[in-house]
Amino acid sequence: MADQEHIEIDTLLDMPAPGRSRTGRAASLARLLHQDCTYLLELYRERESLLSDHTPAGDRIVSLSLSSPDLSSDEQVQLLHSALRKCLGLLECLILREEEEMGELEGEYETVRKGVRDRLGHLLHSTKVLLETEEDVTPDHQCNEEVDGVVGTFGAKMWTYRVLLELIHWANSASQTLHVLHSEREGREEI
Amino acid sequence: CRQGSAVVSRLAPPQQVRLDADKETQTLSVTWEDGHASTFDVEILRTELMEMVLNETVGVTEDQSTGKHQWNWTSPVPLECTSLSVKVRSRDGQDVSEWSSQQILPGLDLPDNTDSQMYPEGKTVPVGSNMTFCCIVEEGQQFGSLWYKDTLVKENMLSRRTYATTMTNQGPSNPSGTNVVCSNEKKMIIAGAVVFVGYPPLPSDLVCETHDLISVDCQWSKGRDTYLFGMTRQTYYTLNGRNCPKARNSNMRCGLEQWDGNWTLVARNLLGEFRLTDAAELGHRVRPVAPVNLTTPEVYSWNASVGWLWKDKVKSLNGCLSGHQTYTGYGLNTVVLKDLQPDEKYSVKVRCGSQKNFWKWGEWSLPLSFQTKMDRPVAPDIWLWMDSDNLGRVLWKPLTKSESHGQISGYEVILWSPEENSQQTLTLPRSVYSLPINVTDRGSKVTVTARNPAGVSLPANIVIPRYLPDAEDTAISKVAFNGSGFPLSWVAHANASCGYVVDWYNTSCTQDCNVEWIKVAADNTNTMVQSGNFLAGVRYKFSLYACSSESTVLLERWHGYMQELVPSRTVPRLSPNQEGADVQLTWDQIPLEHQRGFILGYTVYLTNASHLTLLANITDPQLTNHTVRNLVLGSYKFTVKAYTAAGEDGGATVSISLEPYTYWLIMEILVALGTMTCLLIVITIAFTGFSFSIFTILWKTMPGTGLICVCFQGTLDVKPSPHSMVHIVEDSVWDSSKEALVTVPEEDEEGTGDEAADTDEPASLRYYNQVVEEGSSSQRRPHASDSSASSTGSMDSGHTDVTYTGIQTSACYRPQMQSASCPEEPQTGPEEHLQPPVGSFGGYQPQCSWKQDSPEADGDGLDQTCLGSPTSVTSSQFLLPYDTSEEGKEYPSSASTWFHNLLTGKP
């Protein structure tokens, strides 16, 4: 089901579309990514027997703020693009660590995790197109335990937990920001 | 307490006590120096809360090389959890030294280490082991709870910041390990640890073999799951000391470049290792590699050769298997595949094994496809089905793939005429499988051949059988379907040199029927006729022919159903025909195509609303009529159903309303009166000649009612003739009911008394209203008992030889309105008297409860009521018989009195 959805979205993204449609599609993609990330965290909690009211301590991993009132929509998208690159880097690192720790498993968690990675990559391409600049879409994160502050197996799990929360946060931010942008552009074209 | 000893010891306390901790193994090593003692007391306390952890006397000998004592202790609690204080003293019996200075192993819960922590972290332990986990809470935070997986566990406080819990008999972990989580009072995770609980490896079944006579390939079973995953904890294998990096998941195999003869497999993970060994000679463990480069150098219609190549030394092997046939030979590299089919695509693959010391078949080669060449087709299976004397159809079955040996291009039909010594050849396309022929024009033999690109088939010949219409059929018998087909058997026929043919078709079919046939070898006298075209409810006719080169002779015929069904329609043309009180039902037979089973008979029902009463079960299917007898006036519905072995059809229903025969009855009465007049004249003449006296002859017609009363009373001294009597019974209720009188056959009376022997006597005529019969004898023919009784009564009286019963008055009619006294008519058989449906009779009530000897009918009452104006009679029960009974004796008297009064004008 998820694969089929990916194919459909890939097809949509490959199609030429006016700016307004591209914005709408990027917003839809971000919304789907947010759903996937939420589900991925649910699967992770289930796997790790972590109660939903048990939250990991620690600050945000990706500390960028979109809430500044001085930012234009394009600047917000630019910021969002950067945050998503970091998220993709974190996710790549997460996958690498989990495969080292547990081997290459083929459960539902791993399937959804791969889907999130692919969709996050698509969203990065979408925001790049929206920005109409030569933005980098590669993951922006050095997978380094010392940098990440990962100590021990449980520390790695908590880091994973925080990364998943980070993904949810930024997917949600992307969904909202792109939705606003889509509404603005739509209104502008109607005028 | 040894600390309380006040005695001054001669033993010196241990010096230079030192603590060394191996936190991974949770082992504390205590060393000290002391020159003499070999027994020591060791005391371990949790420093912060001064709780005793251990107080034990241990024997420790001095290490001669270092002059130190060393004692190891494994703590159940991780050494990081909290600080431990250790002191030692020497002991010699009861004599103990002073305690050494207290040494502290600092824990990680000291104030300068402010972070939250949990220990032990990332440990791998065997299933079933016990472990203590401790959580050190961050300075300034409040401990909340401890969770093992998703279970809240009870904690034990070890220090101000340290809380511990002990888990026993731990079960296997999931791939990511088992989490032990410590949270603060806000349920925020502040620390945690992961423990991996699993098993050491336990592989089995190590087997090594060679594929190329050089290298070795070993395989084994993984065995019990270790529950340990990932690069750190997974199982690693070595074979003869060499790593087996490809041995992962379910692919448990490892290879070596050279055959060693002995192999040792070591499986190892964090919990332990396991060894397996195997040993064998090279020639006993050969499983050849797959042959390569398969070719088919020669391909024919019925066989082909296949060749292949070997890698390296394997070509010296013996034995190979190709397809599913085994070929053997030294260095075999080509075989001939036999028994192939022409124009057929084949795929062949080869694998080999060692003929000597066979171990296992090798791997299959890649498949090679080829197609055999075409060959001429086989002769078609033909038959000739005659529609009439002259017209018929030549039929042949389409050739199957295995029979055509290539794409059929067409058929050739030759019609032979031996008398004329001529033939006609017809070429037909491949899609045609029949040809209409006129036998008179074309002769008596037919030949059919099939053609494909490879040639023409052998000819299929048949002698035209003589047409035998159904009327000339030999006895046709039934054959039952036995679940798989129709089993037919017959007596061997002398002139069946080329066997037998059984053909069959739908019996209902009249034109262009789908004829199927099978051929049976000459030495068989039975067969099972099977076809996928058989349908339920269809009658098939099977004909058996004996076939020879000179003739085709019909031997026997059968017909049968694969499955009998109920008829699909009802009997046609069902009609009722009233015949007096009887109704004759007639119908036609159901057309064959609608029978859907062998008609076994018909059932006739009287229909009352939705209720059916069985009147008759006609078991002769040829009989298509039935007479329902003795019906009273009214409306009736009759239903006739045909039935097969599967059951009855829906039933055809007809209605009839029985009407009285008014005019017919009048005619009957007039004829009867005329006859009687003649008879009376003859009797008068006869009586006059023999000096008999006749008192009175009275004919009187009752005006207004149509009643005709005849009273004849006389005395005869001669032997009375019981047949010389006429009974006339009338019904006052029916103004025109005289038509319903029926003639009673003579023989009915003959069986009722001694008079039956007098067959030379004149026949009597008796007329009865058959409705009256309802209340009288129900089992005998109508009125037989009454007439007998009357006759007997007359004869017994000695006064009358001819009795004409009763001119009855209307008072004689006693309407029996008490229906309760009328016993219900049993309807157990079709010949019993029938009542019309309730409500359909218009209020007429038969006097079924009347009895000749009933109180109401006897005595003076009757006598009196019969006097007066004679008007009508409704029942023969009111006739006035001379009876020997008490009651009966009064009737002639009353009648004669009434008669006498009538003649004399008395009231």
For B69, the token pair is 């004592």
Indicate the Cα dihedral angle B869, B874, B876, B882, nearest 10°: -20
Q: Does B229 touch chain A (CB under 8 A)?
A: yes
**pLDDT given for residue B67 in this prediction:** 86
Model confidence at B386, in pLDDT bands (50, 70, 90)? confident
Give the closest-approach CA distance of B213 to chain A in angstroms.
Answer: 36
Residue B72: what are its φ and ψ, rounded to 5°?
-110, 140
Contacts of A136 (CB under 8 A, 6+ apart): A85
- Name the 3-class secondary structure at B552: strand
Q: Does B225 touch chain A (CB under 8 A)?
A: no
For B346, the token pair is 């084949």
Is B230–A157 a contact, with Cβ atoms under 8 angstroms apart? no
More confident residue, B180 or B701: B180
Angle between helices A2-14 and A108-131 (to 10 degrees): 10
| β-sheet with B325-330: strand ranges across | B325-330, B318-322, B350-352
**pLDDT given for residue B384 in this prediction:** 85
Least confident span in B428-432, B688-692, B879-883: B879-883
The alpha carbon of residue B177 and the mean position of all alpha carbons in its chain are separated, in whole angstroms, by 54
**pLDDT given for residue B377 in this prediction:** 95
Is B176–A101 a contact, with Cβ atoms under 8 angstroms apart? yes
Model confidence at B35, in pLDDT bands (50, 70, 90)? low
Model confidence at B866, in pLDDT bands (50, 70, 90)? very low
Q: Is the pLDDT of residue A105 over 80?
A: yes
Place of tokens 């019925």: B302
Average the pLDDT over B355-362 and give the result.
88
CB B14 within 8 A of CB B90: yes
Q: With CA atoms as reference, report the closest residue to B97 among B9, B229, B160, B5.
A: B9
Beta-bridged to residue A140, according to DSSP, are none
One-character DSSP codes across B821-875: GSPPPP--STTS-BPPPTTSSTT----TT--TT-GGGSHHHHHHHHSS-------
- Minimal Cα distance from B144: which residue of A? A54
Among the partner-chain residues B150, B189, B193, the one whose CB lies closest to the CB of A55 is B189
CB B697 within 8 A of CB B681: no
Q: Strand runs (DSSP E) across B388-471, as ranges?
A: 391-396, 410-417, 422-429, 434-438, 445-452, 455-456, 460-463
> Residues B411-442: pLDDT tens digits?
999 888 766 667 788 999 999 999 988 776 54
**pLDDT given for residue B793 in this prediction:** 36
**pLDDT given for residue A20 in this prediction:** 56
Find chain B residues with C-beta within 8 A of A105's C-beta: 175, 229
The alpha carbon of residue B643 and the mean position of all alpha carbons in its chain are separated, in whole angstroms, by 25
Sign of CA dihedral A172, A173, A177, A180: positive
Q: Which positions in chain A have a beta carbon within 8 angstroms of at least one beta carbon in chain B?
A: 47-51, 53-57, 98, 100-103, 105, 152-154, 157-158
Model confidence at B66, in pLDDT bands (50, 70, 90)? confident
CB B104 within 8 A of CB B73: no
Least confident span in B92-101, B677-686, B723-732: B723-732
Q: Is the pLDDT of residue B507 over 70?
A: yes
Average the pLDDT over B758-773 and give the result.
36
Indicate the Cα dihedral angle B862, B863, B865, B867, nearest 10°: 150
Average the pLDDT over B683-711 and give the result.
47
> Residues B297-343: pLDDT tens digits?
899 999 999 999 877 655 445 555 545 677 777 777 888 998 899 99
Residue to substitute from B24, B179, B249, B270, interface A, most A β-carbons within 10 A: B179
How far is B513 from B434, CA to CA, in rounded Å? 12
Tell me the residue type at B520.
V
Find chain A residues with C-beta within 8 A of B150's C-beta: 49-51
Among the partner-chain residues B175, B187, B192, the one whose CB lies closest to the CB of A154 is B192
How far is B87 from B45, CA to CA, in rounded Å? 9
Q: What is this structure's pTM?
A: 0.57
Model confidence at B667, in pLDDT bands (50, 70, 90)? confident
Give the closest-approach CA distance of A82 to chain B in angstroms.
Answer: 29
**pLDDT given for residue B161 in this prediction:** 94
Average the pLDDT over B566-583 and give the result.
91
Q: Is the pLDDT of residue B827 over 60?
A: no
Structure letter (DSSP) for residue B466: P
**pLDDT given for residue B631 in this prediction:** 86
How far is B369 from B676, CA to CA, in rounded Å? 111
Q: With CA atoms as reference, report the closest residue to B593 among B509, B529, B713, B673.
A: B509
In the predicted model, what is the mean pLDDT of chain B? 76
How far is B428 from B437, CA to CA, in rounded Å? 14
> Residues A117-145: pLDDT tens digits?
999 999 999 998 888 877 787 888 888 87
CB A29 within 8 A of CB A119: yes
CB B765 within 8 A of CB B756: no
Q: Is the pLDDT of residue B701 over 60?
A: no
Q: What percent of chain B has pLDDT over 90?
A: 46
Is B230–A101 a contact, with Cβ atoms under 8 angstroms apart? yes
CB A126 within 8 A of CB A77: no
Model confidence at B822, in pLDDT bands (50, 70, 90)? very low
Among the partner-chain residues B122, B177, B187, the one whose CB lies closest to the CB of A53 is B187
CB B713 within 8 A of CB B695: yes
Least confident span in A139-143, A148-152, B90-94, B819-823: B819-823
How far is A66 from A84, CA to CA, in rounded Å? 12
Place of tokens 């009072």: B185
In the predicted model, what is the mean pLDDT of chain A? 84
How far is B515 from B520, CA to CA, in rounded Å? 16
> Residues B109-160: pLDDT tens digits?
999 999 899 999 999 999 999 999 999 999 889 999 999 998 999 999 999 9
- Name the 3-class secondary structure at B659: coil
Q: Is the peptide bond before A139 cis (omega within 30 degrees of 0)?
A: no
CB A138 within 8 A of CB A85: yes
Among the partner-chain residues A54, A154, A157, the one whose CB lies closest to the CB of B183 is A54
Buried b (16+ CB within 10 A) or exposed e, B9-47: bebbbbeebebebeeeebebebbbbbeebebbbbbbbbb
C-alpha distance across the termini of chain A, in Å: 39
Model confidence at B354, in pLDDT bands (50, 70, 90)? confident
CB B267 within 8 A of CB B201: yes
CB B716 within 8 A of CB B692: yes
Give the H/E segment covering residue A154.
helix A152-190
Is B150–A51 a contact, with Cβ atoms under 8 angstroms apart? yes
For A118, the token pair is 């692919």
Q: Is the pLDDT of residue B819 over 70?
A: no
Tell me the residue type at B506.
N
Q: What percent of chain B has pLDDT over 70?
A: 71
Is A154–B118 a contact, with Cβ atoms under 8 angstroms apart? yes
- Name the 3-class secondary structure at B374: coil
Indicate the Cα dihedral angle A176, A182, A188, A189, nearest 10°: -170
Structure letter (DSSP) for residue B64: T
Among the partner-chain residues A48, A51, A102, the one whose CB lies closest to the CB of B229 is A102
CB B809 within 8 A of CB B867: yes
Residue to substitute from B24, B137, B180, B189, interface A, most A β-carbons within 10 A: B189
Give the H/E segment covering residue B501.
strand B500-506
Buried b (16+ CB within 10 A) or exposed e, B315-335: bebebbbbeeeebeeeebbbb
Among the partner-chain residues B122, B176, B231, the one whose CB lies closest to the CB of A47 is B176
**pLDDT given for residue B472 in this prediction:** 57
Among the partner-chain residues B121, B147, B232, the one whose CB lies closest to the CB of A154 is B121
Is B189–A158 a contact, with Cβ atoms under 8 angstroms apart? yes
Of the segments B269-283, B318-332, B729-743, B878-892, which one has the largest average pLDDT value? Answer: B269-283
How far is B242 from B257, CA to CA, in rounded Å? 11
CB B405 within 8 A of CB B374: yes
- Name the 3-class secondary structure at B578: strand
CB B180 within 8 A of CB B194: yes
Q: Is B649 left (phi over 0), alpha (psi -120 to 50) or beta?
A: beta
Q: What percent of chain A has pLDDT over 90?
A: 46
Is B189–A105 a contact, with Cβ atoms under 8 angstroms apart? no
**pLDDT given for residue B693 in this prediction:** 43
**pLDDT given for residue B686 in this prediction:** 73
> Residues B592-606: pLDDT tens digits?
989 999 999 999 999
Contacts of B772 (CB under 8 A, 6+ apart): B729, B731, B847, B874, B875, B876, B877
For B87, the token pair is 């002191």
Is A49–B188 a contact, with Cβ atoms under 8 angstroms apart? no
Sign of CA dihedral B530, B532, B533, B535: positive
**pLDDT given for residue B466 in this prediction:** 67
One-character DSSP codes across A87-140: HHHHHHHHHHHHHHHH----SHHHHHHHHHHHHHHHHHHHHHHHHTS----S--
For B488, the token pair is 């037919």
Q: Does B187 touch chain A (CB under 8 A)?
A: yes
> Residues B330-341: pLDDT tens digits?
777 888 998 899
Find chain B residues with C-beta within 8 A of A103's C-beta: 175, 229-231, 234
**pLDDT given for residue B695 in this prediction:** 41
Q: How far is CA B672 from CA B683, B785, B808, in A?
A: 16, 21, 18
How many residue contacts between A and B have a Cβ separation below 8 Å? 72
Among the partner-chain residues B177, B181, B229, the one whose CB lies closest to the CB of A54 is B181
Q: With CA atoms as reference, report the closest residue to B80 among B164, B142, B148.
A: B164
Q: Is the pLDDT of residue B708 over 70?
A: no
Model confidence at B463, in pLDDT bands (50, 70, 90)? confident
Average the pLDDT over B831-845 and give the result.
41
